[in-house]
Amino acid sequence: MCGISAVVGMKNISQALFEGIRNLEYRGYDSCGVALMNGRGLVIKKNIGGVEEFFRKEHVLEISSQVGIAHTRWATHGKVTRNNTHPFTSCDGKFAVVHNGIISNYRLLRNQLQKEGHVFESETDTEVIPHLLEKFHKETKSPEAALVKTLHLLEGSFALAFLCAHDPEQIYCAKRESPLMLGIGDEIKFIGSDFNAFIDYTKNAVIIDDGEYAVISRATYVVKNAITGEEIVKPITQLDWDSETSKKGGYPHYMLKEIYEQPQTVSNVLDLEEASLDELAEMIHESRHTHFTGVGSTYYVANFAKYVFAWLAREFIPATSSDEFVSLASVGPDNLVMAVSQSGETYDTLTALKFAKASKAKTAAVVNVMGSSMARLVDKVILQGSGPEICVISTKAVISQMMVMTLIALRLGLRKKVLKKKAFERHLADLGELPGIIQSILNERSGFIHRIAHRYAHIKHWLYLGRGMYYPVALESALKMKEVAYVHAEGMPGGFLKHGTLALIDENIYSIVFIPPREDQELYQATLHSVEEVRARSGFVLGIHFDERGKNKDLFSEELILPAVSPLVAPFIQLVIGQLFSYFTATTLKRNVDKPRSLAKSVTVG
């Protein structure tokens, strides 16, 4: 996965290209490159490293050009080297291509092209594209016809864009399974992997669908079907995000900014249209079996939903990691497959949904990005309305998704008469308090969590323990720790400990235990048993709980005491604590918080 940005305009576009690709850097940041058309032909610059550094070192902004493409890479084929950095050119230097995704039959194509005399400079799958374009351009004398012929040969998933010296005022692009869209301004047109590539310049977007290609010039654009060649009149989508929402707003990192935005994003979910949530609850009710799916953090959201639906609607809905979905699930017309995804582009989850569709199951998704592949694919979509999440680590999107799932569970519970109207309303009122409670936790507890994180940042191994709904919270919190602080953290149900893991416990293994409010009697007691088990073996326990100080005297090695809240609200609060703890551990360890290693925002490859 990667970012593609392209601009064609009347004046010099290098600044717009820079801003576009910088705004997409969260999608990948191994290396960066541009191809610009200027008076003398194509100028290519590329190097490993981040966008800002690349533009500065290579003096890209000093090149005057009205047509350009840029790429920020997240390597899938070939190491992170300058030679493997996009754009790639044809042998004659007339075509420059950037690509997102994987060309799965590239070896075959490459062998064939090499036999025909084409010389390759990289280890990437992408490089076959400029050579194919060159080959077919020789035959057809038309860049467009060369593109169509090339598309017919490519297998796999891709979004691509290219410049061609034979036609210097246009940019060509095409898409299959990787996101791509156009930005339509007056006398300026854009191509981007997502809206962030051009939102500073225009709010008019045209979303390219699978099997389509487009050609843009300063004044016009055209979208066509790659098989039939027919022109397609596409609707213009009006974006309602503004670029200010995407900026850091005074916070040192997007991660912290986005954690602090949670009172707002949770409120946004509370404002979602009730009829839409009811519709989804009804779909679940009507289906013989429903499956939840997601991957990474969204898999944990799906797991959280599993507990919430069991509790509030007495409905057991299995959650499956979407990368395993196709191997595991057998679904048919009377099933519903409901996915969770921030970007709406995650390859594994998209694959699971396509599999569900092909099996004639109904599909639904909770996603954050309007116009994304999933939003358009499924029978029913809920847009969670969290606004752009720029940090690669997901925080505000996760809490919103948990909230959406909880609201649907409540409505299903009411529909099934598992919940009486009164209980339903009490739960809703409790959730209505959540934004205010999160706000006060952020205001009053951040400093304390910062100090604790600082104190224990040297710890190499953590166990994150929780039972019931707190088990997915423990899993998600442990994942945060791994991905942003690079510290080993393992989420585990408290009940598991005595089935083997206790053997590990001594003074060197540190545990965090997410404890429910006392009101949740059974779960509370069971969780405290886990704490006792660890303490009995000299293990360290950081207890996060809602009791007043002194109630659990001597039980914890360290404790974080939260204000009393209702059982439905408590796991959300624990999640926020987990986020802050990871964030402050990461900053203490001087990690690259917004762009941690080996992770990209929307994993659009399998």
* Among the residue ranges 95-103, 354-362, 456-464, 539-547, the one whose residues contact ligand GLU (CB under 6 A): 95-103
Could you say whether residue 1 binds ligand GLU (CB under 6 A)? yes
- Identify whether the C-beta of residue 41 lies closer than 8 Å to the C-beta of residue 89: no
**DSSP per-residue letters across 323-376:** HHHHHH----TTEEEEEEESSS--HHHHHHHHHHHHTT-EEEEEESSTT-HHHH
- Identify whether the C-beta of residue 93 lies closer than 8 Å to the C-beta of residue 165: yes
Could you say whether residue 47 binds ligand GLU (CB under 6 A)? no
One residue of 13, 75, 151, 465 binding ligand GLU per CB under 6 A: 75
Could you say whether residue 12 binds ligand GLU (CB under 6 A)? no
Name the residues annotated as catalytic. Answer: 2, 601
Q: Which residues contact 401 (CB under 8 A, 6 or more apart)?
A: 298, 301, 340, 342, 366, 384
Binding letters toward ligand GLU, positions 99-118, x by CB under 6 A: xxxx----------------
Question: Which residues are paired to 292 by β-bridges?
Answer: 319, 338
Task: Indicate left, alpha or beta for 471 from its phi (over 0: left) and psi (-120 to 50: alpha).
Answer: alpha
Could you tell me which of 38, 2, 33 has the C-alpha nearest to residue 18?
33
Q: Which residues contact 391 (CB under 8 A, 6 or more apart)?
A: 26, 253, 254, 255, 257, 258, 593, 594
- For the bound state, the minimum distance from the C-beta of residue 420 to ligand GLU, rounded and expressed in Å, comes to 51
- For the bound state, the minimum distance from the C-beta of residue 218 to ligand GLU, rounded and expressed in Å, comes to 27
Residue nearest to ligand GLU (CB): 2
Nearer to ligand GLU, 394 or 604 (CB): 604
What three-state secondary structure class fits 554? coil
Nearer to ligand GLU, 99 or 257 (CB): 99
Task: Indicate left, alpha or beta for 314 from its phi (over 0: left) and psi (-120 to 50: alpha).
Answer: left
One residue of 38, 47, 76, 359 binding ligand GLU per CB under 6 A: 76
Question: Which residues are paired to 339 by β-bridges?
Answer: 293, 365
Nearer to ligand GLU, 346 or 511 (CB): 346
* Among the residue ranges 123-131, 366-374, 434-442, 480-488, the one whose residues contact ligand GLU (CB under 6 A): 123-131
Could you say whether residue 125 binds ligand GLU (CB under 6 A)? yes
- For the bound state, the minimum distance from the C-beta of residue 259 to ligand GLU, rounded and expressed in Å, comes to 28
Could you say whether residue 31 binds ligand GLU (CB under 6 A)? no
Nearer to ligand GLU, 77 or 518 (CB): 77
Buried b or exposed e, range 122-148, using 16+ CB within 10 angstroms: bebbbbbbbbbbbbbbeeeeebbebbb
Binding letters toward ligand GLU, positions 126-165, x by CB under 6 A: x---------------------------------------
Q: Note if the bond before 235 is cis, omega within 30 degrees.
A: no
- For the bound state, the minimum distance from the C-beta of residue 186 to ligand GLU, rounded and expressed in Å, comes to 31
**Residues at the contact surface with ligand GLU, assessed by CB under 6 A:** 1-2, 28, 73-78, 99-102, 124-126
